Amino acid sequence: MTSPSAPKRTKQRRGEGQWALGYREPLNPNERSKKDDHPLNVRARIENIYAHRGFESIDPGDLRGRFRWYGLYTQRKPGIDGGRTATLEPEELDDSYFMLRVRIDGGALTTSQLSLLGELSQTYARDSADITDRQNIQYHWIRIEDMPTIWARLEEAGLSTMTACGDAPRVILSSPVGGIASDEVIDPTPAIEEIQNRYLGDPSLANLPRKYKTAISGLQDVAHEVHDIAFVGVEHPEHGPGFDLWVGGGLSTNPMIGQRLGTWVPRDEVPEVWAGVTKLFRDYGYRRLRHRARIKFLVKDWGAEKFREVLESEYLGRQLVDGPAPEVPEQPRDHVGAHRQKDGNYYVGAAPVAGRVSGSTLLGVAKAAERAGSGRVRLTPQQKLVVLDVPESEVEGLQSELSTLGLDATASPWRRGVMACTGIEFCKLAIVETKDRAKQLVADLEQRLADITDGITTPISVHLNGCPNSCARIQTADIGLKGQIVTDDDGNQVEGFQVHLGGGLGLDAGFGRKLRGHKVTSAELGDYVERVVRTFVEQREEGERFPQ
Ligand code: SF4
């Protein structure tokens, strides 16, 4: 029993590694690595040392850490099956070739930039190219020796790989039809350009607790609900068009829908407010445990009210204007097909399967777009591609050219609705194959469900991930598939998926439910999806969307 005179024992609360509270000592190897040498310094070493001395000369801390700040990851050594992914040391999974992500803010490219991306792929990446669901282009088979030339050529064309990955502000997602859509609330392009000019590559914003994903859009077509920070177009009754600010969205473990701070931000203030939130995250974000380091954990602990208060008092030095919530559109949009722009021209969206294209395809698209009188192309967060500014008379010709390139402008709902992450072909964390699986699934569903396809007015989204991470946003899909090893009917351990059903964004924003025991082998995937879709179509009520 404690004597009445004994000092009271107060429970020590363990620090979360927040810089603003004095925890400057690195508390884990990733923080140590960033403190030892700023990740942005690695570029000079690549250009001056590694590109000349080759793969074997690369310091492991750079290879598996700092390289990411320039969009470089080692790709997976071929021939290692998914069952062994978790049991091997990182170096056993490293191939000497790299994946390289080119950041394309808003997915916005001129046709000459697109041509260059195609040429670089043909010359340095074995003609590989994927459109990612973050509007990047991802190459494979890159050699370290070629990086100085690749950077020089990209930068000459106004493109970059700066903080395409790493604990830093990554590519900014935006509507592929920003500035041309007749129904957008506001064109976000000037705000995005200003953020690029003022902050991209700023070392003081490039050592954050964890990755930091931004979306800025005048339309709700960029999955803003699951971003670390998002500005969503909204009409203020007194002040007019501007942006509603959301923070704390994210997927992977502990998925969370972002929270509105209840503010209205005019377009010319977006860069300053974006920088304020970014600095707040840098200073108050949790750096002790990697799995608690995303901004969503801070937002969850603080709540929107306190977050806004600290942002205003410590980072902006003023109060933000209160603002209304944006109106939620009834249907999600993927921009596939031909649609009229506000200037009378058309934009033409086309669908590869799960973002898989090639350098040759990109070159072909650039040429076809130019022949149709366009100079601009955008990549979409649904792994699709859109050609802008097409005169009406050229639409049909362009669509048929795109179709010969394998990009379907009148794609089936299955081709439109399927997305897939990189998967076991190249990703070191993967457990299962995804891109080829997606291709087979689309072909399979087009055949199996041909009799009911006309009745599917909105594509049913089917997203495939190669591991428990959520690069393909599985929790927000109607049918989300998380790669894992499962047991088949004969008791064999085979590739398969845990199913999440009924996720969605927009009107019914919420995460798909992981149904206990709902696992499917890769071989049975077609059967499974067919069964789910047929049941839905047979039992749905008039106008009902996929059940949440
Ligand atoms: Fe790799 Fe997993 Fe992300 Fe797919 S979800 S790209 S397998 S980390």
Q: Which tokens belong to 306?
A: 């306190």
Tell how far the Cα of 156 is from the centroid of ligand 1, in angstroms.
Answer: 31
Specify the amino acid at residue 438: A
Mean pLDDT of 207-236: 96
Mean pLDDT of 437-454: 93
Q: ipTM of this predicted complex?
A: 0.99
Q: Token pair 């670089």 is at which residue?
A: 120
Tell how far the Cα of 266 is from the centroid of ligand 1, in angstroms.
Answer: 36
Instruction: Output the pLDDT for position 83.
Output: 83
Is residue 2 over pLDDT 80?
Answer: no
DSSP 535: H
Is residue 398 over pLDDT 50?
Answer: yes
Q: Tell me the pLDDT tens digit for each residue of 45-103.
A: 999 999 999 999 999 999 999 999 999 999 999 888 888 888 888 888 889 999 999 99
Q: Tell me the pLDDT tens digit for each residue of 69-79.
A: 999 999 999 88
Tell how far the Cα of 225 is from the centroid of ligand 1, in angstroms.
Answer: 20
Our answer on whether the CB atom of 131 is closer than 6 Å to any ligand 1 atom is: no
Sign of CA dihedral 134, 140, 143, 149: negative
Is residue 10 over pLDDT 60?
Answer: no
Is residue 6 over pLDDT 50?
Answer: no
- Provide the edge-to-edge strand list for the sheet that holds 128-131: 72-76, 94-102, 137-142, 128-131, 356-358
What residue owns the CA closest to ligand 1's atom 3? 471
For residues 224 and 463, what is the distance between their CA atoms, to the nearest angstrom?
17
Our answer on whether the CB atom of 466 is closer than 6 Å to any ligand 1 atom is: yes
Instruction: Output the pLDDT for position 144.
Output: 98
Tell how far the Cα of 103 is from the centroid of ligand 1, in angstroms.
Answer: 18
Mean per-residue pLDDT of the chain? 92
Q: What percent of the chain has pLDDT above 90?
A: 80
Our answer on whether the CB atom of 399 is closer than 6 Å to any ligand 1 atom is: no
Instruction: Output the pLDDT for position 88.
Output: 87
Instruction: Output the pLDDT for position 7.
Output: 46
Tell how far the Cα of 428 is from the centroid of ligand 1, in angstroms.
Answer: 8
Instruction: Grade residue 466 by pLDDT with cuts at 50, 70 and 90.
Output: very high
Closest CA to 358 of 139, 116, 124, 129: 129
Instruction: Grade residue 12 by pLDDT with cuts at 50, 70 and 90.
Output: very low
When mean pLDDT is compared across 30-39, 290-299, 328-337, the lowest value belongs to 328-337
Instruction: Output the pLDDT for position 11.
Output: 47
Closest CA to 147 of 123, 114, 115, 171: 123
Closest CA to 243 of 175, 330, 170: 175
Our answer on whether the CB atom of 147 is closer than 6 Å to any ligand 1 atom is: no
Mean pLDDT of 457-464: 87
Instruction: Output the pLDDT for position 1.
Output: 37
Rounded to an integer, what is the distance from CA 99 to the centroid of its chain?
16
Is residue 542 over pLDDT 80?
Answer: no
Burial of 92 from C-beta contacts in 10 A (0-12 / 13-18 / 19+): exposed
Instruction: Output the pLDDT for position 91.
Output: 84
Mean pLDDT of 171-190: 96
DSSP 352: -
Tell how far the Cα of 514 is from the centroid of ligand 1, in angstroms.
Answer: 18
Residue 540 vs residue 311, higher pLDDT: 311
Our answer on whether the CB atom of 471 is closer than 6 Å to any ligand 1 atom is: yes
Degrees, nearest 5: CA angle 447-449-454: 115
Is residue 161 over pLDDT 70?
Answer: yes
Q: Tell me the pLDDT tens digit for each residue of 484-541.
A: 999 999 999 999 999 998 877 776 677 777 877 789 999 999 999 999 999 888 887 6
Neighbours of 148 (CB within 10 A): 16
Closest CA to 171 of 145, 142, 140, 132: 132
Instruction: Output the pLDDT for position 543.
Output: 59
